Amino acid sequence: MFEIHLPPGDASVSLVSGKERIEGPQLEGHGPKNSLQAFLPSRDITADRAVAEWVVRAPKGTTLAVSARAARAGAVKTTVSLD
């Protein structure tokens, strides 16, 4: 699950493309084979990652929060400041 957290009540911030919450695919993981971060990486494409993309219209300096989570893998959250 990928989410972008827009500032509540701020009319100057809008989501141009994408949904606030995106259901990602079930990832294979990198246990059965090497990933790109392995000591001796395999050149094969791995299925241990996914991508979510949003287009946001907002004033310069706006801070947005982005999070990703999965039941078995856990969660990560970060903020992004628009330049």
CB proximity list for 4: less than 8 A, separation 6 or greater? 15, 18, 20, 54, 56, 64, 65, 66
Can you give the pLDDT of all 83 residues of the chain as single tens digits? 999 999 999 999 999 999 999 998 776 655 555 555 656 655 565 566 778 999 999 999 999 999 999 887 789 999 999 98
- At residue 63, the pLDDT reads 95
Which pLDDT score is estimated for 51?
A: 84
Residue 65, amino acid: A
- 56 contacts 80 by C-beta, under 8 angstroms: no
pLDDT at residue 14 in the model? 95
| The pLDDT of residue 32 | 56
Distance CA 77, CA 66 (A): 6
Q: What is the pLDDT of residue 62?
A: 95
